Copies of this chain bind each other. A is one copy, B any other.
């Protein structure tokens, strides 16, 4: 791919108009939107309105003027992106906290089954939270096994199969429908972590028969750093599960101020405390960008961006650890490199922002809404220069930063 080839691809890209809806800084090729999505142009004015008018002018009255329904309203918008009904999704807390709620609830529901089956190398907080959740349900345990051993690990003691749909490091994607069926055939529920899927690839939870899901608002959804997360509970389970985090916002009648907890009907019972409206408005502005996006355009462009960067990496002798089949991956590409951290830092210093994932992976997010083919071409030039110049041997890059 020459620069002219790349420009021709950009000119023909039906998603190209979305690029202008992001405030991308000059001199940066941002290949980390899978970790933190960039700032949509609509977000700063929406935040200012939230602060100055809704909070500043309307004060407490705003709770009855749109705030109290925000978790369900925004959840309904996310539902359209993941193949769910609007009343099956709600925005609340963080991905970790939402996972805890669903795991404890699912373990209780599935008794006398006791086991959460998951894979080793899953995104760490999923396994950490599962440890914490099993400690809250007598007899429960986590059985994390290698991907190749998952199918045999699912048995008649399995309460729940907990998988991350797209792997944070390699971008490998599970076949959601097939694995959900595998869990159901064994009498277990299936929970999907969509953090690296939503906004990256087409999703259809209900077509797959999924029971439960969680996902992140600050990656491909561009909801802002640490944006609120979402959770999905299939309608058929909504009245059978209840949150262990039984806070007042999930109460059937929170403003009656009664002593005893009574869960709200439907999806609202998964709220716990009062949600941050500053955080909510950021998420909603990010989600609203997706309203008219054709997911098939996203999938096709993601595949083409991947192929372009995979070809560049191949020519430079980098080992790609992501699947070559687009239907078997998400929307990022990862290369293994012995000096992965230093390579990543040298690239960042030259304006190409990807990230490092311990111990030896450099990861690039391929986000079709705002990345162009010329970005990939230019990133390839800089990558070649860094590799050929030995810039990754710079001793400044010998010590890792707190966050990688």
Contacts and interface: CB of A to CB of B under 8 A. Distances in A.
A77 B347 CA distance: 37
Given A100-B245, A255-B404, A39 B60 contact: no
A93 interface: yes
A36 B48 contact: no
A274 B129 CA distance: 13
Contact of A61 (B63, B100, B348): B348
Contacts of A272: 94, 96-97, 100, 129
Contacts of A227: 276, 278
A234 interface: no
A136 interface: yes
Contacts of A129: 245-247, 272
Contacts of A279: 226, 276, 278-279
A312 B159 CA distance: 62
Contact of A353 (B59, B225, B260): B59
A128 interface: yes
Contacts of A121: 259
A163 B251 CA distance: 21
B136 A247 contact: no
A376 interface: no
A225 B277 contact: yes
Contacts of A249: 96, 125
Contacts of A255: 358, 400, 402-404
A35 B47 contact: no
Interface stretch (A23-31, A150-158, A320-328, A366-374): A23-31
Interface string A250-266: 01001111111100000
B94 A274 contact: yes
Given A97-B272, A226-B275, A60 B32 contact: yes
A138 B28 CA distance: 53
Contacts of A93: 93-94, 97, 273
A135 B135 CA distance: 12
A68 interface: yes
A398 to B, nearest CB: 16
21 contacts: A30-B59, A35-B60, A36-B55, A36-B60, A38-B59, A39-B56, A47-B48, A64-B401, A95-B274, A96-B249, A97-B273, A104-B136, A131-B261, A132-B243, A136-B244, A218-B274, A225-B276, A225-B277, A226-B274, A255-B404, A276-B278
